[in-house]
C-alpha cells in the first residue's frame, strides 16, 4: 500500500537508448530516495501501477526500464512526458536470474542451498555485479568469483560501487548514456 507521506511526484520524459525505453528520475526526485544505490520502488506512471527496482545512473540519480505492459497501460512511448508518483519500498520483487548465473548456482550444492536464504536485495546485487560487463570472459570470471564467495559464506558482493549503472547495454563506465548523444 502506498504511503502518501513518502510519495515522490514528478514529470519526466521517456527516452530511448539503444532501442530501450528508459524512465530517468530527475535529480531532485532521486535525492528524496533513501540511497544512491539500487532501490525498490512502487508507484504509478500516468496512473498505471508498477513495482520495479530503480537502477543507479552513475550520476547520483536513478532510472528504470518500464516494461511493455506498463507503457501500454500508461499510454506512453519514447519522447512522451509522463507523470510519475513513487516511493521506496522494502519488499523487493524476486529478480530474474540470468541463465549463466542460474546454471552456475544450480551446479554448486553449497551455493544452491545459500541462494534462497539470502535476501532478494542480495540476489539483485549478485546479478548486478556479474552482469556489469559486456566482456564474456570477465562475466564468466565474475560468476566463478560469486560462486566462490557465496561458498565462503558471503551473502552480498563486496568492494564495488553500488552507485554505478550496471547495465552495460545502456551505460559506459558505470554512467547511464546520455539519450541526446546516442
How high is the pLDDT of residue 181?
A: 85
Do 111 and 147 sit in the same domain of this protein?
A: yes
Does the pTM surpass 0.85? The reply is yes
Do 106 and 156 sit in the same domain of this protein?
A: yes
Find the Cα–Cα–Cα–Cα dihedral 114, 51, 90, 14, rounded to 10°. 110
Q: 88, 111, 139: which is the final residue of a domain?
A: 88
From CA 158, how far away is CA 129, in angstroms rounded?
Answer: 9
Per the structure, how many domains does the chain have? 2
pLDDT of the chain along its 182 residues, tens only? 455 568 999 999 999 999 999 999 999 999 999 999 999 999 999 999 999 999 999 999 999 999 999 999 999 999 999 999 999 999 999 999 999 999 999 999 999 999 999 999 999 999 999 999 999 999 999 999 999 999 998 999 988 889 999 999 999 999 999 988 87
* Angle of CA points 23, 54, 20, to nearest 5°: 40
Q: What is the CATH number of the domain that holds 12?
A: 2.40.30.100
Do 84 and 98 sit in the same domain of this protein?
A: no
How high is the pLDDT of residue 182?
A: 74
Q: 55, 73, 88: which is the final residue of a domain?
A: 88
| Domain assignment of residue 127, given as a range | 94-168+175-179
* Angle of CA points 93, 60, 140, to nearest 5°: 55
Do 163 and 124 sit in the same domain of this protein?
A: yes
Q: 44, 69, 88: which is the final residue of a domain?
A: 88
Do 77 and 110 sit in the same domain of this protein?
A: no
Do 8 and 84 sit in the same domain of this protein?
A: yes
Amino acid at each position: 500500500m502506498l504511503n502518501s507521506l513518502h510519495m515522490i511526484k514528478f514529470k519526466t520524459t521517456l527516452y530511448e537508448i539503444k532501442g530501450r525505453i528508459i524512465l530517468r528520475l530527475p535529480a531532485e526526485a532521486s535525492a528524496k530516495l533513501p540511497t544512491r544505490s539500487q532501490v525498490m520502488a512502487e508507484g504509478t506512471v500516468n496512473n498505471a501501477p508498477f513495482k520495479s527496482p530503480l537502477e543507479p545512473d552513475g550520476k547520483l540519480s536513478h532510472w528504470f526500464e518500464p516494461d511493455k505492459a506498463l507503457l501500454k497501460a500508461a499510454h506512453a512511448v519514447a519522447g512522451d512526458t509522463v507523470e510519475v508518483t513513487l516511493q521506496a519500498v522494502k519488499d523487493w520483487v524476486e529478480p530474474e536470474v540470468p541463465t549463466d548465473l542460474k546454471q552456475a548456482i544450480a551446479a554448486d550444492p553449497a551455493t544452491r542451498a545459500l541462494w534462497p536464504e539470502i535476501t532478494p536485495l542480495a540476489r539483485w546485487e549478485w546479478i548486478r555485479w556479474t552482469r556489469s560487463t559486456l566482456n564474456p570472459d570477465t562475466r564468466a570470471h565474475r560468476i566463478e568469483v560469486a560462486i566462490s564467495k557465496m561458498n565462503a559464506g558471503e551473502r552480498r558482493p563486496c568492494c564495488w560501487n553500488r552507485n554505478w549503472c550496471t547495465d552495460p547495454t545502456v551505460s559506459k563506465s558505470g554512467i547511464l548514456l546520455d539519450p541526446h548523444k546516442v
